[in-house]
Amino acid sequence: MILASASPRRRELLALIGIPHEITPADIDESYLPGETPRVHAERLAREKATAIDEADAVTIGSDTIVVVDDEVLGKPRDREHASAMLRRLSGCSHVVMTGIAVRWQGRVASGVEEAGVTFRTLTAHEIARYIDTGEPMDKAGSYGIQGYGATIVERVDGDYFAVMGLPLNRLVRLLRELGLIYDFGPVVAG
């Protein structure tokens, strides 16, 4: 099993459910294609990551998470000011997190997208500045991570919590089954 991502959160989630894996981050262009919707973009990137790693007998997992508010995608912040602007925009309102996930095995790819609605509580300028001071927002879509300090600013999640973290585990198991692989609370095996 190869995880085509450098994300520590995704590594932790696979370890959490007992799936041994290696890390080989995929190096792909994550630019939007003309006319591409956020949902199509997230799934395409997940598929490209899963297929970028060419290991003959390996099962490869690719994933990509985006934050969408008012039909605009909020990527990773460029700098502190950009993170602050994103957090001000998300403060006191709801947005959608989309995580594309793809699994490649024996030349076949199964993929999908999990969506979750996330609502932030209203944040003060001081809270935003202090949260940015933690460093947590700087490498995350939408400038927050739900599994760390960001858990204190999220008021509600409607949908798959693990999709918000970056790896929808239930969808992963369904994709493995689609490819003829079995996950029985441990290593993945061929069915």
C-beta separation of 154 from 146 below 8 A:
yes
158 noted as active-site residue: no
Active-site pick, 27, 54, 64, 139: 64
CA-to-CA dists, residue 82 to 11, 26, 140, 186, angstroms: 27, 26, 12, 41
Q: Where are the beta strands (DSSP E) in the chain?
A: 2-3, 22-23, 60-69, 72-74, 94-105, 108-120, 154-159, 181-183, 188-190
| Nearest by Cα to 3 from 169, 11, 110 | 11
d(CA 38, CA 65): 10
Beta-strand relationship, 108-120 and 94-105: antiparallel
- φ and ψ of 184, to 5 deg: -115, 60
Active-site annotation, residues: 64
